[in-house]
Chain A
Amino acid sequence: DAMVIQNPRYQVTQFGKPVTLSCSQTLNHNVMYWYQQKSSQAPKLLFHYYDKDFNNEADTPDNFQSRRPNTSFCFLDIRSPGLGDAAMYLCATTHRGGADEKLFFGSGTQLSVL
């Protein structure tokens, strides 16, 4: 059973048109992450939440924002997508203070920018 769910699996947007990617989890984990992964590269951490505390990576563009309205959901907003933002976006969760603090990933959303 899927525990970290990302929708949609594939998303197409136009250059400059705002887009939102969603992630939900059934694990009740207190930490949620967004990673960007371009072809043949490692996942790159964009930001993460510990509960409602937001942590932005220094090199994450201002174009990328996130919301976490409750424990279960987290959104990635790309305000004005450029061609360079085409990538796989991965959501992950873990539980700080849990037994092993391993990461659980969703299947990702593949974003295309036309």
Chain B
Amino acid sequence: DAKTTQPTSMDCAEGRAANLPCNHSTISGNEYVYWYRQIHSQGPQYIIHGLKNNETNEMASLIITEDRKSSTLILPHATLRDTAVYYCIVRVAQDDKIIFGKGTRLHILP
């Protein structure tokens, strides 16, 4: 079973920051948090991952709480192309079994 809980859906206005929460209250010390997104009819795409420090790349920022029980994916300036299902996954490095939860369906509103 997935170890994460995410809201089923969210709306965000175009140009605004989209903040997607993920709860992983049972995360263990060696588990990473990964985010993927899936645009309709495509395979999921990697966005970002982290262990305990906040991370930023060209796509997004990942904020992990100090107790690591939750995290937030931030898309700083959402565009219509960011409309997708966003999946938060926790996994141990070198654990090949990767289970997807239900994800959050993000709608970017024009």
Contact = CB atoms under 8 A, between A and B. Distances in A.
A33 B46 contact: no
Interface in B80-99: 87, 93-94, 96-99
B96 A103 contact: no
B97 A55 contact: yes
A48 B96 contact: yes
A45 interface: yes
Given A42-B87, A42-B101, A102-B34, A55 B96 contact: yes
A43 B96 contact: no
Contacts, number: 54
Contacts of B87: 42
Interface in B17-75: 34, 36, 41-46, 49
A31 B98 CA distance: 11
A71 B94 CA distance: 18
A104 interface: yes
Interface residues of A, number: 27
A73 interface: no
B42 to A, nearest CB: 6
B96 A31 contact: yes
Query: What's the dominant secondary structure at chain B's contact region?
Result: loop
B45 A33 contact: no
A66 to B, nearest CB: 14
A90 B101 contact: no
Given A42-B102, A50-B96, A103-B36, A92 B43 contact: yes
9 contacts: A42-B87, A42-B101, A45-B100, A50-B96, A88-B41, A90-B43, A103-B36, A105-B43, A105-B45
Given A55-B96, A101-B93, 17 more contacts: A4-B43, A31-B96, A33-B96, A42-B87, A42-B100, A45-B98, A48-B96, A88-B41, A100-B49, A101-B94, A103-B36, A103-B44, A103-B98, A105-B43, A107-B43, A108-B42, A108-B43
